[in-house]
Structure 1
Amino acid sequence: MLSVDTPETTADTVEGAKSVDEKFKQLGARIRDGVAPISDALTEFLLPKIETGNAGSLQFGQGTAAATFNTENIKKRLAEGREPGKERGIFIRTADDFFDDNNRLLAYIAPNYSKKELETLPREKRPTFNLDLITEGWAAPFVIYPSIPGELDLPLFLKAADKAVKDKKGIWKDSHTLLAYEYRALEKLHGVTKKKAEGKKLEPDEAFSWRTRYCADMRDRELHGPEDYFRVPPIYRLWLWPQDVNEAVGHLNLTPSRRLTGSGSRTR
């Protein structure tokens, strides 16, 4: 589902999530020991989240709740205004690139309304299932260039995300929540750091393979490096793959941050 990122359930079980708790506690210790290839600034931002001792369990619990909400919400909305047993069809609008690297269809998904309904229902009354996840706080905004919501949809998206954060709904209820993309990155960082701690040779570029995307601030169009994303509030983060940065700078009139150009303060 485009532009949203729900918590991960890749731990599979409660016991698996507890195993992740231990992995992240180990990662936290190695970060403090200076073994992990991560900047001081990002360390300061992430350590409080992974040193709680329950980062994996929190992620798994949130992911399970998000999945439950999504299943029930889709079932409910497809049945709205229909005779019992007769659900609506589904409307799908795909990204320019139809599939991701895992062969998953990338799309905005919603109930399929009739032409008459579309003429009478305003956009906010017929949201996508993607937007529903944002509204209820069960997903973080995850807009990746060039698949940016349209000029009429983006304001609704940002407004819903802002309200969910302020109301502390879903994942925003706990200040120690790791957003799903942070969780995935830290799992990769744990692998890299474990290998380094064991004295194993890292492959070229492996040390920083755990973070690759750049991040731009939708408010002022400032472009930040992969480890400076946290300087942008979650709802205003626009993500860019390295190969798309030059094009996006031109198309969106982005301005590289001083830290990105090397004119700011340095970290290890």
Structure 2
Amino acid sequence: MIEPVQVFWAPDGASMPTLGSRPLVDVTDGDTPNLRMPVRMLSVDTPEVTARGAERAAQIDEEFSQLAEWIHKGLAPISSELGEFLKPRLDSGQAGSLHFSQGQAASAFSKENIARRLARPGGQPRAMFIRVADSPFDSNHRLLAYLAPDYTEKERREFPKRLRPTFNLDLVTSGWAAPFIIYPDIPAADDLALLIEAAAGARADGLGIWANPQTLLAYEYRSMERLFDITKKKVNGQPLKVDERSWRERYCVDLRNRVLHGPEDYFGIDPEYRLWLWPADLRDAVARLNLTPSARLASGR
């Protein structure tokens, strides 16, 4: 019979997502199994492939065209300024198909790039270097990390960061990812400079997603999916289970001047200079980064 204990604790742990049918790689010793797990690459955002196929992507073309019409008629809960900015992309007739094809291209680039950079001529492939965020998991319990080939100490001394970029930075340089920096996971000063330079260069040269002016960035695409669902229910007179403005949540800071903008005013900031804030982090970020609200935000508009 065991004796009673006097310590009671409720841990704050979280369940990890399903890792598939073969998550176990091997077991090092009794208490150290090695598992496969999903990683969300920090500071970058590639187009989504959640449509899964051309048929669903074509349906999204129609849904986004319908959303553009609702925005034009003032039926969607979105500011007129952001609505005007997004309408041409939503009403292009290819918003879903374009995004899906870009997502496939980004995925293909990432697979080829990782395989190529980990390869060693005639030898064992390099190991993977992983640097995690201050808070290592996102809301979907994916590991948040920067990934790169694992260089030797000698190589790190001889080659500057520019010549041994992370796979995250490669995606931005190629144009297949937009920068997506979310507070508090801000890159160090030298890494941030490389990211901004790469993003600005890819955008100026029309690489990857930047080749088509009708591109919806991945975070815009996801928010428009949510806005479509909300507006459809409003138009059909169905009750909403969420706030009608819940389709957009993050505030946006201009990295050049530390001005804080509302969730629907990000589009006035060049993509490479956007820093995103969750509402829960707003007070902390304002204090630590010495942010100033935009005139529009300060006026409550």
> TM class, shorter-chain normalised?
over 0.9
**Correspondence list, 1:73-112, <5 A:** 73-79=113-119, 82-84=120-122, 86-112=124-150
Q: Which residue of 2 aligns with 1:48?
A: 88
CA distance in 1 between partners of 2:280 and 2:68 (Å): 31
After superposition, give the CA deviation of every residue in 1:146-171 in whole Å (9 maximum; x if it has no partner): 00010111111111111101000000
TM-score (norm 1): 0.95
Tell me the SS of whatever aligns to 2:78.
coil
What is the one-letter code of the residue matched to 2:204? K
CA distance in 2 between partners of 1:103 and 1:64 (Å): 24
TM-superposed CA distance for 1:44, in Å, is 0.7
| Percent of aligned positions that are identical | 57
Say if 2:261 is the partner of 1:224. Answer: yes
Say if 2:283 is the partner of 1:243. Answer: no
Q: Which residue of 2 aligns with 1:142?
A: 180
TM-superposed CA distance for 1:202, in Å, is 2.0
Q: Which residue of 2 aligns with 1:30?
A: 70
Q: Which residue of 2 aligns with 1:113?
A: 151
After superposition, give the CA deviation of every residue in 1:245-268 in whole Å (9 maximum; x if it has no partner): 1111111111000100117xx5xx
TM-superposed CA distance for 1:28, in Å, is 1.1
Q: Which residue of 1 aligns with 2:216?
A: 178
CA distance in 2 between partners of 1:261 and 1:33 (Å): 28
Q: Which residue of 1 aligns with 2:48?
A: 8
CA distance in 2 between partners of 1:109 and 1:10 (Å): 23
CA distance in 1 between partners of 2:193 and 2:43 (Å): 13
TM-superposed CA distance for 1:85, in Å, is 5.4
Q: Which residue of 2 aligns with 1:257?
A: 294
Q: Which residue of 1 aligns with 2:161?
A: 123
Q: Which residue of 2 aligns with 1:19?
A: 59
CA distance in 1 between partners of 2:259 and 2:161 (Å): 30
Tell me the SS of whatever aligns to 1:206.
coil
What is the one-letter code of the residue matched to 1:47? K
Higher relative contact order (CA 8 A, sep 6+): 1
Say if 2:191 is the partner of 1:153. Answer: yes
Tell me whether 171-180 or 85-94 shows the greater mean CA deviation: 85-94
After superposition, give the CA deviation of every residue in 1:203-255 in whole Å (9 maximum; x if it has no partner): 3x520010000000000111000000101111100000001111111111110
Aligned residues: 261
CA distance in 1 between partners of 2:260 and 2:76 (Å): 25
CA distance in 2 between partners of 1:19 and 1:149 (Å): 38
TM-superposed CA distance for 1:30, in Å, is 1.2
What is the one-letter code of the residue matched to 1:99? F
Question: Highest CA radius of gyration, 1 or 2?
Answer: 2
After superposition, give the CA deviation of every residue in 1:101-133 in whole Å (9 maximum; x if it has no partner): 112110000000011111101110000000000
TM-superposed CA distance for 1:29, in Å, is 1.2
TM-superposed CA distance for 1:42, in Å, is 0.3
Tell me the SS of whatever aligns to 2:189.
coil
What is the one-letter code of the residue matched to 2:145? A
TM-superposed CA distance for 1:84, in Å, is 2.8
CA distance in 2 between partners of 1:128 and 1:177 (Å): 25
Unmatched runs of 5 consecutive residues or more in structure 2: 1-40
CA distance in 2 between partners of 1:84 and 1:14 (Å): 40
After superposition, the CA RMSD in angstroms is 1.0
Tell me the SS of whatever aligns to 2:240.
coil
